[in-house]
Amino acid sequence: MGIRHRKNLLITVLKARALGAKMKPEEVAQFELMYRRARTPEEQDQVTGVLQQFLQGWKEGDDAYSRLLRTANDLDDFLDDDDDRLPPALEAAIARAKVDLTR
């Protein structure tokens, strides 16, 4: 695959990803410009890496906004060892609150 064909393919993939990620038109235009200026496959790979970080960076980021997005999308684990276990005090309270209907 030639460099020009690869560049056009990456730009097409960028536009498809932009629709899925709901990127702003000016963001898409900036990444397209970076792809168009890339002369070698290594430079294109660098742009692809930046694009990947731009789209998925919030999943690994340690800043407050990234943590907020992970919390909003239920990607953070709040219970470390067993996600299905309730705290013991809550389990005891639920057991006390149960109504026996067999009488």
pTM for this prediction: 0.61
**What pLDDT is recorded for position 37?**
94
Q: What does the DSSP 8-state code read for residue 24? A: -
Contact 58, 20 (CB under 8 A): no
What was the pLDDT predicted at 32?
Answer: 94
Tens-binned pLDDT, residue by residue, of the chain (103 aa): 788 899 999 999 999 988 888 889 999 999 999 999 999 999 999 999 999 888 888 888 888 877 777 777 776 555 455 556 777 888 888 888 877 777 6
Amino acid identity, position 46:
Q
Predicted local confidence at residue 64, as pLDDT = 82
Taking each helix axis from N to C end, the angle separating 25-37 and 41-56, rounded to the nearest 10 degrees, works out to 160
